[in-house]
Structure 1
Amino acid sequence: MTLIEKTKGHLVTASVVYQPVLEYIEPVHLDELVKTFGKDHCWVIIGGEINVNAVPLQDEWIKDIVDKCVKLGIPLKMQPDLRPLVTAKRYTFYEQEPSPIRESKAIRKKNLVKKNAAISEKYETSMAESNQKLKECAPIDKLDVASSILYSEAEMIVECAKRLLAKLPDFDVIFSAETKGTPLAYEISRQSFKDCIVAHKSVKMYMNDTLEVAVKSIMAEKKKKFYLSAEEADKLNGKRVLIVDNVIGTAEALNDLEFIVEMAGGSSAGKVAVFAESEAVNNSSIICLEQLI
């Protein structure tokens, strides 16, 4: 009763745990519990003793608790060791939770699905006389982005690189990061005869004196690390660097790559992609071929 008095006025989930039940227990406080917290914020848990010398739990020890919970509408969780007992006595084996817990689990599950696999529709566009359907994904809650994978689109990569080169400012070297932007970056390199440097997600065996940079990506909850060998970083030093990706979602989307360029002593000559969202298109440093609405 002291605990109930102390928590009045606070939004909490109240839990009464009867475990281990070793004798008859009268549920004398459950009416006050529901009155204080509301039935949607209460939870009763029942379990027996669990060990090799456990006292066998008797039906009459918990009958009044179960009946009281059913009467009051309190979510009831019976530990699995009670299953044979309660089912043999024609009781339902309960595995319930309070509304706040159920709702929070539902929200977490929904967000996890959206983050990991939510592909809601296809965004169809035409580029270089080739049709491509972009997947619309939700990497985090309340955010949709278009996803384009260019690896299998050889004709589109060649044509897009050609058209982008006609729009680009002067640059000395091309820079991208593993992995989605690398096909376009290498094709721009091939057509322009300019070196292409790629930031790696892991340290390769041939890399010595690596430059390590941790960046925060909108697509990931934790910071990601990219690596450049000393030789690769030196090729960016003092150079006008063209930063390349396949899709740019926001004006700040390639700031991480620009930060790596600056860490290596280079400067950004521009940010380039095949597709860009409307917000990014309005940024003067970003060049694209197609706007995504």
Structure 2
Amino acid sequence: MKEPDPRTDTELMAERQRRFEEDLIDAYDEELEMEVDDRIIDGPTGFTPEYRDARKQYFRELFRLQGELVKLQDWIVATGHRLVVIFEGRDAAGKGGAIKRITQRLNPRVCRVAALPAPNNRERTQWYFQRYVSHLPAGGEMVLFDRSWYNRAGVERVMNFCTDDEYEEFFRSVPEFEKMLARSGVQILKYWFSITDEEQEIRFQNRIHDPLKQWKLSPMDLESRRRWEAYTLAKEVMLQRSHIPEAPWWVVQAVDKKRARLNCIHHLLSQVPYHEIEHPLVELPPRVYHEDYSRQPVPQAMIVPEVY
């Protein structure tokens, strides 16, 4: 039998409120840890009053927008909406950071991230769009593509991983492919994260000198730095030839990471006609106790050592 709790109802309510606030703060700490990982608070100006104030404003707005993303998620589930959001940009442009902040509070069964590796030998012989199709959303889902079929217009073109004929065929096909998706009810949002030459160099240097971020640098990333101008031309052609009413491109000014995240999320929310979905009141059922129930002790050998 359950032992009676000696505390009063007021004490129990106060304890529950304290635990609720702790859990809330713990959830927000995830975002704070990401910012520390970004090393943004380091440096001589990291703790100035102006910086602290800007930081508070950033978090306040981020948490508000993330609350709206939860409402968007509920609406997508309730209506069976299908949403594709494409994130493109140069290496170190901040695509991954924006995606993290979008997905952070959402259900991974509703909001999925597709980040495909380089195609294998079999995929290279398939219809170019084939390997992306299986990642498209079903009803009540949104999929964020961390790079997408536009690899052909960017890295494959610059690095000579595709022929001229394949490149031209891509631009003949991609408008029709996206129009077909739009006609079938899939909404497509395409974002290009734009940074300057100087900003990319700074971010690459930071990755080189930060052991926790060196994994983000690949030989392809370093080569892309050398071919900056070729990437610029490829990007300009891509935006010109694949900007269609059914799936337009949107450029996010991304030199300031925080502003870029907020602006991207705000714009994404503005492009979907969502509204808050009413949910029935949730009531926690009472715990059922049985006289014959006996909890078995866990063997000590199975307990994770409490090092901390």
TM-score band w.r.t. shorter chain: under 0.3
TM-score, length-normalised on structure 1? 0.23
Higher relative helix content: 2
Higher relative strand content: 1
TM-score, length-normalised on structure 2? 0.22
